[in-house]
């Protein structure tokens, strides 16, 4: 096993000011001037550390780019690995992400580029690898492990590399095919283990990188969680789109044949549910949900009318609490509002008075001029009322007058910042004192905010749990809307790199060329997306044919022997004719290029990303293609459908035998059951697999 013996430490020492800043690199002002197949190589040659010339795994070349983060001068750095995967030698030829997002008809590309930032800050391409036998790290220049004497082989390293490509802990893992179509596989911010970069930092970087590299489209299967909740549901209610929508990702396809319009309607229905529909009515007893909503309504400086208003306000408080790690300032409570009128609609005045009197008694019991902390005072009266009522009374306690004429004063402790109270003579209190300058008040802690958010999420958004809280008249609509949002996971951004080609190449001819094979039939049609070729202004028809042949040979495995023969729109034109004489002043145009693959190809298995398997999907929900959800096939007709649509809950196994409604005469007939009669027919990364 031959490796390059150059020490990896040399790259580590590059943590200096000459490194590019991760937070601003690459500059989004410099959009791609060429297609991805060209720009990605130029990018690597310019910015990346060259892989060892005698690599152990030439089909998994790993390039490394180091970054500093901001203006910090420490040793902290970010390492971006770019793994250049030769697909024809890969263990996984077909792309499952392409299959479920609607790109399964694209031919298989010759290369995939994985952009990875590891959570531990190390590089996949480092010379130190874990021993396959004992896990101890060893340097590849000496492949024999000093701990267990195991000799690392190229197969061991290859296993380790493919495991790296499957890890779910990476801060970033995006993959882009040679044709410019890509996927976000992983983004893990601070909740995912990152201590240096937030999820927003990572997505900002990825978005700039895609623009500069000329990426066409990027998909993401959004299964993100935040605060332990389904974030695509929570974020959609708050902002009208998933978290990835902040970077322009839009609806790419819904499971179970859900349309874009149905998805948008579901969001608006759930987000605009009036909170008034949840108010206690008649003589029905108030619940914790009623009190919790009313509590946050009383604290907000804006009127909270809908569920969107409520969750937006609550997540803002939680963001501020998490950011500052201090008590949240509620001094922005609406000025001029009558506190009593707001309180009456939440709690009875007798409840308010009872709690305040209990607080007065506690403060009177404290000797001398001692201050009582917010937490101690709240704990002393914790049995007197609900937590939300206690918080509200503490918020309004300053300036309240006790029966003996003493008045409550409050301050922020100069050392700890904790809110404190004590009784003082009324004349000694300046109502405009420094309370306005301290961060008050009886705001819930971060833990309390988190608990309240989870409770409200379950009560108002969770499709299975909201049935216990939503009025019967609204229940069906709200449950259906929440389910539809959760069933939409595929989102896509179209970067339209071709729009910047003309700006970067003002005097060039830019042709969008689509290949048409002369010998193809309906059974073996190759449906490759168009490739852009950029030509000098005096280019001839022959030049076009040469560049188009080169482009498709470079991008797609099945077209490695593709030879362009003529331009369909200009048949019979002499090869020496300049293109500008045919297109006139139009420097951007689309053409179909007729050609054929020379010799015996032998590459037909690379015709589509969906692979060579033939299957039919015809589900009662209307789905006609793989959407990534679990499916099973009828044992009579072989047609696939969703297990959920066949009446099999997602939590149950798939039966050994299944007969669909069309073949069985009724609903789906399920044969077999129990632990011994279940096969794995679940979706594995977007594919349809059946084993029995």
Give residue 466's pLDDT: 92
Predicted confidence band of residue 426 (pLDDT cuts 50, 70, 90): low
- Terminal-residue alpha carbon distance, the chain: 40
Indicate the SS3 state at residue 271: helix
**CA dist., res. 288 & res. 286, Å (int):** 7
Q: How long a stretch of residues is the chain? A: 692
Give residue 14's pLDDT: 46
Least confident of 197-206, 421-430, 679-688: 679-688
Q: Is the pLDDT of residue 674 over 80?
A: no
**CA dist., res. 155 & res. 59, Å (int):** 13
Overall average pLDDT of the 418-426 stretch: 81
Give residue 328's pLDDT: 33
Buried b (16+ CB within 10 A) or exposed e, 497-522: bbebbeeebeebbbbbbbbbbeeeee
Overall average pLDDT of the 236-249 stretch: 96
Indicate the SS3 state at residue 287: coil
Q: Is the pLDDT of residue 342 over 70?
A: no
Going through 312-361 in order, the beta strands assigned E by DSSP cover none
DSSP for 210-263 reads HHHHT--EEEEE---EETTEEHHHHHHHHHSS-GGGGGT-EEEE-GGG--HHHH
Q: What percent of the chain has pLDDT over 90?
A: 41
Q: What Å distances lie between residue 660 and 196, 640, 642, 664, 669, CA to CA? A: 52, 9, 11, 6, 6
Overall average pLDDT of the 9-31 stretch: 69
pLDDT for 443-490, tens place per residue? Answer: 677 888 899 999 999 999 999 999 888 988 899 999 999 999 999 999
**CA dist., res. 273 & res. 72, Å (int):** 46
Closest CA to 593 of 634, 630, 552: 552
DSSP for 475-491 reads HHHHHHHHHHHHT--EE
Closest CA to 551 of 538, 536, 540, 535: 535
The larger pLDDT score, comparing residue 187 to residue 373, is at 187
Q: Which residues contact 342 (CB under 8 A, 6 or more apart)?
A: 297, 298
Q: What Å distances lie between residue 569 and 331, 514, 576, 582, CA to CA? A: 70, 12, 16, 10
Overall average pLDDT of the 596-622 stretch: 83
Contact 180, 215 (CB under 8 A): yes
Overall average pLDDT of the 354-376 stretch: 85
Q: Is the pLDDT of residue 619 over 60?
A: yes
**Where does residue 485 rank: exposed (0-12), middle (13-18), buried (19+ CB within 10 A)?**
buried
Give residue 343's pLDDT: 38
Q: Which residues contact 627 (CB under 8 A, 6 or more apart)?
A: 100, 253, 254, 255, 256, 490
Give residue 443's pLDDT: 62
Going through 525-630 in order, the beta strands assigned E by DSSP cover 531-535, 562-567, 588-597
Between the CA atoms of 48, 53, 58 and 63, what dihedral angle is there, to the nearest 10 degrees?
Answer: -10
Q: How far is CA 416 from the centre of its chain?
A: 38
Give residue 628's pLDDT: 87
Q: Is the pLDDT of residue 668 over 60?
A: no
Give residue 592's pLDDT: 93
Alpha helices in 7-57 (DSSP H): 9-12, 36-47
pLDDT for 218-235, tens place per residue? Answer: 999 999 988 889 999 999
The larger pLDDT score, comparing residue 356 to residue 281, is at 356
Predicted confidence band of residue 417 (pLDDT cuts 50, 70, 90): low
Cβ neighbours, 10 Å, residue 301: 12
Give residue 530's pLDDT: 95
**CA dist., res. 465 & res. 319, Å (int):** 25
Contact 603, 558 (CB under 8 A): yes
Give residue 687's pLDDT: 33
Indicate the SS3 state at residue 677: helix
């Amino acid at each position: 096993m031959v490796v390059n013996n150059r020490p990896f430490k040399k790259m580590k020492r590059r943590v200096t000011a000459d490194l590019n800043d991760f937070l601003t690199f690459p500059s989004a002002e410099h959009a791609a001037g060429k297609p991805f197949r060209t720009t990605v190589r130029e990018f690597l040659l310019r910015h990346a550390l060259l892989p060892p010339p005698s690599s152990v795994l030439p089909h998994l070349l790993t390039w490394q780019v180091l970054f500093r983060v901001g203006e910090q001068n420490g040793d902290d750095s970010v390492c971006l690995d770019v793994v250049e995967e030769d697909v024809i030698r890969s263990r996984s030829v077909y792309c499952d992400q392409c299959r479920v997002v609607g790109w399964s008809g694209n031919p298989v590309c010759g290369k995939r580029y994985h952009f990875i930032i590891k959570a531990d800050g190390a590089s996949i391409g480092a010379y130190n690898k874990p021993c396959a036998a004992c896990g101890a790290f060893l340097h590849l220049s000496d492949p024999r492990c000093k701990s267990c004497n195991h000799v690392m082989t190229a197969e061991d390293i290859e296993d380790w590399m493919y495991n790296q490509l499957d890890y779910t802990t990476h801060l970033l893992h995006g993959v882009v095919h040679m044709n410019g179509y890509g996927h976000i596989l992983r983004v893990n911010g601070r909740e995912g283990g990152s201590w240096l970069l937030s999820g927003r930092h990572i997505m900002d970087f990825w978005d700039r990188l895609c623009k500069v590299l000329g990426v066409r489209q990027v998909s993401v299967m959004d299964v993100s969680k935040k605060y332990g909740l389904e974030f695509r549901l929570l974020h959609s209610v708050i902002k009208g789109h998933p978290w990835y929508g902040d970077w322009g990702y839009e609806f790419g396809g819904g499971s179970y044949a859900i349309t874009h319009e149905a998805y948008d309607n579901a969001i608006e229905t759930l987000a605009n549910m009036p909170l008034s529909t949840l108010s206690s009515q008649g003589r029905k007893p108030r619940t914790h949900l009623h009190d919790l909503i009313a509590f946050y309504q009383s604290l907000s400086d804006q009127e909270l009318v809908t569920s969107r208003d409520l969750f937006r306000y609550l997540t803002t408080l939680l963001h501020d609490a998490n950011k500052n790690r201090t008590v949240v300032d509620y001094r922005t409570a609406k000025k001029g509002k009558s506190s009593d009128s707001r309180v009456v609609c939440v709690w009875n005045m007798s409840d308010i008075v009872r709690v305040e009197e209990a607080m007065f008694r506690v403060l009177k019991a404290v000797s001398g001029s001692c201050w009582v902390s917010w937490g101690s005072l709240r704990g002393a009266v914790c049995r007197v009322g609900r937590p939300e009522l206690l918080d509200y009374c503490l918020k309004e306690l300053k300036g309240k007058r006790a029966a003996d004429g003493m008045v409550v004063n409050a301050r922020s402790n100069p050392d700890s910042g904790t809110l404190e109270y004590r009784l003082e003579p009324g004349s000694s209190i300046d109502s405009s004192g420094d309370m306005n300058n301290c961060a008050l008040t009886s705001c819930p802690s971060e833990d309390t905010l988190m608990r309240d958010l989870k409770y409200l999420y379950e009560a108002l958004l969770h499709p299975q749990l909201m049935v216990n809280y939503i009025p019967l008249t609204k229940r069906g609509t709200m449950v259906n809307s929440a389910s539809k949002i959760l069933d939409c996971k595929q989102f896509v951004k179209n970067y339209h790199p071709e729009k910047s080609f003309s700006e970067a190449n003002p005097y060039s001819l830019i042709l969008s060329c689509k290949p048409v094979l002369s010998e193809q039939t309906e059974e073996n049609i190759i449906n490759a997306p168009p490739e852009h070729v950029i030509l000098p202004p005096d280019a001839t028809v022959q030049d076009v044919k040469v560049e188009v042949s080169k482009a498709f040979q470079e991008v797609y495995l099945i077209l490695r022997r593709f030879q362009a023969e003529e331009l369909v729109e200009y048949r019979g034109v002499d090869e020496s004719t300049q293109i500008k004489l045919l297109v006139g002043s139009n420097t951007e145009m689309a053409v179909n290029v007729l050609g054929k693959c020379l010799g015996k190809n032998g590459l037909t298995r690379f015709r589509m990303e969906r692979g060579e398997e033939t299957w039919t999907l015809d589900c009662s929900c209307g789905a006609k293609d793989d959407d990534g959800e679990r499916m099973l096939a009828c044992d009579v007709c072989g047609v696939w459908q969703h297990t959920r649509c066949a009446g099999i809950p997602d939590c149950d196994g798939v039966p050994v035998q299944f007969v669909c409604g069309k073949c069985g005469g009724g609903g789906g007939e399920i044969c077999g059951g129990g632990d011994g009669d279940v096969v794995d027919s679940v979706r594995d990364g977007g594919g349809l697999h059946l084993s029995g």
